[in-house]
Amino acid sequence: MSSTYLSGGYQVLLGRSAAQLEDWAVAEGQPAFRGRQLHDWLYAKGARSLEVITVLPKAWRISLQQRGITVGRLRELSRAVAEDSTTKLLLSTVDGETIETVGIPTQQRLTVCLSSQVGCSMACRFCATGKGGLQRSLATHEIIDQVLSIREAMDRRPSHVVFMGMGEPLLNTEAVLAAIRCLNIDLGIGQRRITLSTVGVPHTLPQLAELALKRLGRAQFTLAVSLHAPNQELRESLIPAARFYPLDALLEDCRHYLAVTGRRVSFEYILLGGLNDQPQHAEELADRVGGFQSHVNLIAYNPIDDEPFKRPTLGTIEAFRRVLERRGVAVSVRASRGLDQNAACGQLRRQSQPQ
């Protein structure tokens, strides 16, 4: 089961549904309602250990602990809070790895930016996460914990979730889809408020559409594809993995995903000052996605060490947006958050590691 830790040899409870917990309690010789009690303590109360779930019989709790069965929560190592209240947590896994998650608040919503892997193998030049390579994928409970940890840290219920943190979600599809199911059913976050962001992995988008329908019964979450360039040559210079996935093939797979799910695709585009942010780039991008049931989300580059990229000017961003609008492309500009606390993916983790 996806909630069994991949190397520790023990079982965790976080990530299981109410029905799964009921069946498990019965298999343990307990009445089914014990499973429902566990579900309430795991998701509504955010229990960090079996010891605090005092509604369970003490002898059973001790037995579970002796057999290595655990809730499966992560440990907070550090916290960075920006002037705009954006909150980044560095969390430790049981095998000593570290991952990041970010809470991004507004008056109307609290969005949690989730990691799906420890590190990343895609090596995008503008991303701090890829600088350290990939250690492993996250288990379902490690993904879910990030939402619970942000909820605790910010004392507020998350309303939206984006898989835009560390890692490539489509290299961990099974655990990510299991996490989406859990977020939706067990934590009550609507699928339409969940976004899965990918840089593009060959052959995975058609598979994602089919698996989502099979695992979730419907595919209502938003698919966000990171383009960051309007042509193959420039995209390869920014995303080395793009050489294995031509832009034309990626866009064709996006059209297939749209046909299967009926959900429009969002395209993420990081604007890098003087490199991919000129009006001619906007015109070329419009040629690529025009007539496509899609939406373009423009993102101003968040500077990281070791790379010469620059943040675009406000005027450049606005000019790029106007070109797309004039060409009939649905477009928005994402507000930058947490700049004073290095909120770009992977920065907090890199700072915590020995140099």
Tokens found for residue 67: 């057999």
Q: CA torsion 173→148→154→129, rounded to 10°?
A: -30
* Amino acid symbol at 53: I
Measured from the Cβ of residue 340, the count of other Cβ atoms closer than 10 Å reads 12
Active site residue 124: no
Identify the residue whose tokens are 């070329």: 284
What are the phi and psi torsion angles at 237 (to 5°)? -70, -25
Q: CA torsion 152→153→155→157, rounded to 10°?
A: -70
Q: Name the 3-class secondary structure at 75.
A: strand
How would you classify the pairing of strands 87-92 and 75-81? antiparallel
Label residues 31-58 b or e (16+ Cβ within 10 Å = b).
eeebbebbbebbbeebbbebeebeebee
CB of 95 closer than 8 Å to CB of 351: no
Rg of the chain taking only CA atoms, in angstroms = 21
Identify the residue whose tokens are 């990041």: 100
Cα–Cα distance between 14 and 21 in angstroms, integer? Answer: 10
Q: Which of 100, 142, 168, 268 is catalytic?
A: 100
Active site residue 113: no
* Active-site annotation, residues: 100, 345
